Amino acid sequence: MNATMSLEKTKHYPVMLNQVLSIISPQHGGTFIDCTFGGGGYSQAILKFPETKVFAIDRDKLTQKHANILVKRFPKRFNFFQEKFSNLSKVVQQHVNPRAVIFDLGLSSIQLSDKERGFSFESKNFLNMEMGINEYSAYDVINTLDKEHLATIIKVLGEEKDGRLIANKIDKYRRKKPIKTSQDLASIINDAKKNYNKYKKNPATKTFQAIRIFVNKELTELILGLIEAAKLLSNGGVLIVVSFHSLEDRIVKNFFNLYSNLRKNPSRYLPIKVSKSSLFKQISKKPLVADVKEVNENIRSRSAKLRYAIRNNNSFFYPDEFKKKFVNYLELEGGRI
Ligand SMILES: C[S@@+](CC[C@H](N)C(=O)[O-])C[C@H]1O[C@@H](n2cnc3c(N)ncnc32)[C@H](O)[C@@H]1O
């Protein structure tokens, strides 16, 4: 399979596509939900198999132009909705009975490389960072959010130990004049993180991640999206999530553990306890990762982790520990279940 499945000229690699296809086996036909359409790499690869149907979702209105190409090519088998996947049930009806629901989280390379969106450090454009269907931009957050909240966001969502230091520096600057561009923000963070040359990554990486997650309520979206998928899937349906950083992966891992046969055992010497009230069967506790060839072709795949589980017949329920596990993330982003 050609790794560059782009529907237009931009080089775009659908991450871990071969693993996704081997889990969902579209050659047997059926309906699939692509919750993160992006450049359409997964959807297009599935639609190559004649007995398939795809319902695709993306919150970014700019993905519509990629979707239109597939709508034209597969008018009876492809549907696209510009929507957030936390609203999956608004656009996909229960009777659709999908064989798989797939999430490929985060930003697409198309979004990242579009300087006007303000996701990259070098962008001289408005500090935006909105994926689409947002309540506020990064500009609003950086210039108006309470300093304490800003510090917590940078610490928790960016896993940045210098969260307070950076929030203080941002506050000092914004008192003089508004921080307008991504480049301005990056240089303020660099200023806060003394001796930044010793860092391998740009010192603003973690803070940018934190602000982007907060602006797009990405963790709330993930938690609600997984719930929607679990409700929609029926016996034998597969839930697949490809994630790119530890916060996302932790949520996916906790979600599957709470709902699956592989709950944490009190001792590794005891046999795995199979919960009677599970929703999913996990084949492995360990995530799949991209192979060396893919990592060489697309460096972004290096941090990808793929987890999947198979739905059983039990009715949806919230396990007791559910709120305890996720409530902090939801509160931090201002969302609720
Ligand atoms: C990594 S890209 C997906 C790439 C895609 N698998 C492909 O092969 O082209 C992630 C996409 O998910 C979208 N997205 C992220 N969070 C979303 C959400 N909560 N609801 C809907 N779409 C979302 C982004 O706008 C982006 O286009």
Question: How far is Cα 251 from Cα 321, in angstroms, rounded to an integer?
Answer: 13
In the prediction, which pLDDT does 1 show? 36
Mean pLDDT value across residues 120-136: 93
Measured in Å, residue 45 CA sits from the centre of ligand 1 at 16
Does pLDDT of 335 surpass 90? no
Mean pLDDT value across residues 49-65: 97
Counting every residue written for the chain, the total comes to: 337
Residue from 110, 61, 106 nearest 81 by CA = 61
pTM: 0.92
Task: Kindly report the protein residue whose alpha carbon is nearest to atom 8 of ligand 1.
Answer: 41
Chain position carrying tokens 């679990």: 230
Does pLDDT of 336 surpass 70? no
30, β-bridge pairs: 52
Residue of 4, 6, 7, 36 to test ligand 1 pocket, by largest number of atoms within 8 Å of CB: 36
What are the structural domains of the chain? 17-104+218-333 (3.40.50.150), 115-215 (1.10.150.170)
Mean pLDDT value across residues 165-170: 97
Residue of 17, 59, 248 to test ligand 1 pocket, by largest number of atoms within 8 Å of CB: 59
Can you tell me which atom of ligand 1 is nearest the CA of 83? 21
Q: Would you say 102 and 24 are in contact if contact means Cβ atoms under 8 Å apart? A: yes
Burial class (CB in 10 A: 0-12, 13-18, 19+), 135: exposed
Q: Would you say 269 and 252 are in contact if contact means Cβ atoms under 8 Å apart? A: no
Alpha helices in the chain, H assignment, sequence order:
17-24, 41-47, 64-73, 88-91, 109-113, 138-144, 147-157, 163-176, 182-192, 205-215, 218-232, 246-259, 292-297, 322-333
Joined tokens for residue 319: 């396990």
* CB-ligand 1 contact for 14 (6 Å cutoff): yes
